[in-house]
Amino acid sequence: MQSIRRRLGIIIIFCSIIAVILSALFVNWALNSTFNKYMMNTQNQRNQRIVDYFQQIYKRDKKWTVNSGEEMMHEAYMSNYCLTLLDDNKNVIWGMNPNDIRERYHLMMQRAGNNNGVYTSNFFEIKTDGKIVGYVEIGQYSPILLSQQDINFKISINRSIIISVLITIFIAVIISIIISKQFSAPIKAVSDTSVKLSNGNYDSVSNIKSNIKELNNLTESINTLGKRLKEQDQLRKRLVSDISHEIRTPLNILQNNLEAMIDGIFPVNEERLNYLNDEVIRFGKLLNNLNLLKEFEEEKLTLNTTTIFLDELVSSVSNEFYIDFENKNIKFNLNIDKDKDFQIIGDEDKIKQVFINLLSNAIKFTQAGGNVWVNIDANKDKVIVKVKDDGMGIKREDLPYIFERLYRGDKSRHEIEGSGIGLTIVKRILTLHSATINVESVVGIGTSFTLYFNKKMS
């Protein structure tokens, strides 16, 4: 299995080589095409010049002889083409032998790496005063004749292209190595960190930085994930400890009292038996709450939705806690704006459980002589309920976890009776109703829960 750096480097190098080769082929084709057009144009000009020359010869001599224009033979031989002069009846006056230039031409083409060559010829009319007076045949072993200088020029161009390709490929390899390192280094660091996280090393952090936004986001995300996994691991260990404590406490009380009664240390009377029965009931409530939480988390609950007047429901729940407020000397304040609509859609029993849990917590964690407020308000889309107390408050570091199962914050809150799942049930019920809850708290000042419900649409 290849590393991402190696694979990325190979891909970049391969693409670079293909791009360079294609570019070189295109440049070579374009240069050859342009050069051939130039040579063809030059060759056509040469042909016209030869025809014009013979026209001048005929005008001067008024006839054709075996010496007419024979001085052109030397130029033709040196330039690798053949000339044949014919009269107006196409009778040969004089002509060159194609074999005289074949060997010379083939030797030149072998040097250029091209052995192909088929002799072809073209006839051109020689006119004087609009009358055809003869013909000149121009033959050659290639559609385009190249001189030695032309061949050397083309070889030089091709050699330069090949050298440029090699240099470009070398530079592309160096650049690809640098680029692949820039891309792969953050990804490799994140990969290494994720492997360490999967092995339970939640302190692992990727410190590598990248100027690429997506890679930088990836690094930050894996670091955030590691931090949350560490927090969840600590929370898991704490939950195990808490639930062990919650279950062990009533069992220890039962065991110790029963052993004392068996040994005759405690008398077996109604008062003692009632005390033990209360511990059994408390233990049963804990198990029932855990079972209820399990049902919520497995989403097995079915909501029996109906129209709920939230102000009336909150008032009803508050009245149920009247005696509790009185017994603890807590002042309760309920503020409702009578001119607004507080209708929502939901399961009345489940919503009622939300406020039972919140008011129960407010009473538990508020000292005697304290205050509890419930304010109900509404805007265009939401019904807003705030449950506030001036109790002991919650530490800032505990706030992110108060909705977790069995989480009860610092040790001072453990001294107060409770299962630690009341807020977990609140959160789950609100989630099922597409409602949200926010919490604000300051130690020694109090806690405020704000709930947002979607209003019933008309």
Read off the pLDDT of each residue in 76-81 and give the average, rounded to a whole number: 82
Alpha-carbon span 432 to 308, nearest angstrom: 15
Is the separation of the CB atoms in 313 and 344 below 8 Å? no
108 pLDDT more than 60: no
Please report the pLDDT score of residue 445 as a whole number. Answer: 92
Residue 22 lies in a domain: yes
Shared domain check, 309 and 419: yes
394/150: higher pLDDT: 394
Do 269 and 354 belong to one domain?
A: no
Q: Quick one: average pLDDT of 431-446?
A: 92
Residue predicted with more confidence, 218 or 132: 132
pLDDT for the residue numbered 2: 62
Residues 6+ apart with CB under 8 A from 189: 206, 207, 208, 219
In a domain, residue 266? The reply is yes
Given a contact cutoff of 8 angstroms between Cβ atoms, the answer to whether 319 and 276 are in contact is no
Out of 243, 278, 313, a domain closes at 278
Look at residue 220 and tell me if it is in a domain.
Answer: no
Tally of domains in the chain? 3
Q: Mind giving me the DSSP string for 195-223? A: HHHHTT-TT-------SSHHHHHHHHHHH
- In angstroms, the Cα distances linking 117 to 32, 88, 98, 102, 154 are 18, 30, 12, 9, 18
Q: Is residue 145 part of a domain?
A: yes
Q: What is the CATH number of the domain that holds 103?
A: 3.30.450
The residue out of 115, 142, 167 marking a domain boundary is: 167
129 and 242 assigned to the same domain: no
Residue 420: give the domain boundaries. 301-454
Same-domain pairing of 305 and 338: yes
Same domain for 273 and 404: no
Q: Check residue 144 and give its pLDDT.
A: 67
Alpha helices in 263-302 (DSSP H): 270-297
Write down the pLDDT at residue 377: 93
Residues 72 and 157 in one domain: yes
Given this model, what pLDDT does residue 362 score? 92
Q: How much is the pLDDT for 415?
A: 47
213-251: pLDDT as tens digits? 877 888 888 888 888 888 777 767 766 666 666 677 778
CATH of residue 385? 3.30.565.10
| pLDDT per position as a tens digit, 338-386 | 888 899 999 999 899 899 999 999 998 999 999 999 999 998 899 999 9
Does residue 412 have a pLDDT over 50? no
- Confidence tier at 331 by pLDDT (50, 70, 90): very high
Alpha-carbon distance 183 to 174, whole Å?
15
DSSP state, 138?
Answer: E
Closest CA to 136 of 50, 75, 72, 245: 50
Per residue in 310-322, pLDDT (tens digit) is 999 999 999 999 9
Residue ending a domain, among 132, 167, 202, is 167
Q: Are strands 446-454 and 371-378 parallel, antiparallel or unpaired?
A: unpaired
Cβ pair 392, 444 in contact under 8 A? yes
- Phi and psi dihedrals of 293, rounded to 5? -65, -40
Q: CB of 168 within 8 A of CB of 20?
A: yes
272 shares its domain with 157: no
Predicted confidence band of residue 78 (pLDDT cuts 50, 70, 90): confident
Does 271 lie in the same domain as 404? no
Task: Say yes or no: 155 and 243 in one domain.
Answer: no
Indicate the DSSP class of residue 398: G
Q: Beta-carbon neighbour count of residue 320 at 10 Å?
A: 12
Residue 175 counted as domain residue: no
Q: Do residues 319 and 272 both lie within one domain?
A: no
Verify that 253 and 391 share a domain, yes or no: no
Instruction: Say what the pLDDT of residue 140 is.
Output: 84
Q: How far apart are CA 93 and CA 424, in angstroms?
A: 117
**pLDDT by residue (tens digit) across 239-248?**
666 666 667 7
Is the model's pLDDT at 337 over the cut of 50?
yes
Q: Look at residue 172 and tell me if it is in a domain.
A: no
Helix (H/G/I), strand (E/B), else coil: 319? helix
Q: Which two tokens stand for residue 164?
A: 């440029």
**pLDDT of 257 over the 50 cut:** yes
Greater confidence (50 vs 146) lies with 50
* Res 109: pLDDT: 55
Residues 67 and 139 grouped into a single domain: yes
Query: How, if at all, do strands 82-87 and 305-309 pair?
Result: unpaired
Instruction: Label residue 129 by pLDDT band (50, 70, 90).
Output: confident
Is residue 104, in this structure, part of any structural domain at all?
yes
Closest by alpha carbon to 97, among 117, 62, 116, 73? 73
- pLDDT-based confidence at residue 103 (cuts at 50, 70, 90): low
